[in-house]
Amino acid sequence: MSDKVKELTAETFSDAIASGTVLIDFWAPWCGPCKMQGPILDKVADKIGDKAVIAKVNVDENAPIAAQFGVRSIPTLILFKNGEKVKDFVGVQQEAVLVEALT
């Protein structure tokens, strides 16, 4: 995981999504497709720079957050703008799709 992709917990989640554009990857270490999504997110973070925040939430360690947003399969990526959920992506997403959604 790139240093540009933040790891969120129950304590940091609300503040992280409160303002601006934030893409959250709900994942787990045992999930094969999640392992494929990680390097793609690193590239997206490099491309978009300061235009948006890219972050991850480990669903095993933060199940209540995943439940709050109806995450039933992983990877699920959720796009937030100023604290409001605006789009869900289920399954591995390609770099171009994510960059377009964030710009």
Beta strand 76-81 with 21-27: parallel, antiparallel or unpaired?
antiparallel
Name the nearest CA neighbour of 57 among 22, 86, 21. Answer: 22
Cα 38 to Cα 12: distance, rounded to the nearest angstrom: 20
Beta bridge partners of 78: 24, 88
Known catalytic residues are 31, 34
Q: How far is CA 32 from CA 16, 48, 61, 68, 101, in A?
A: 26, 25, 17, 23, 24
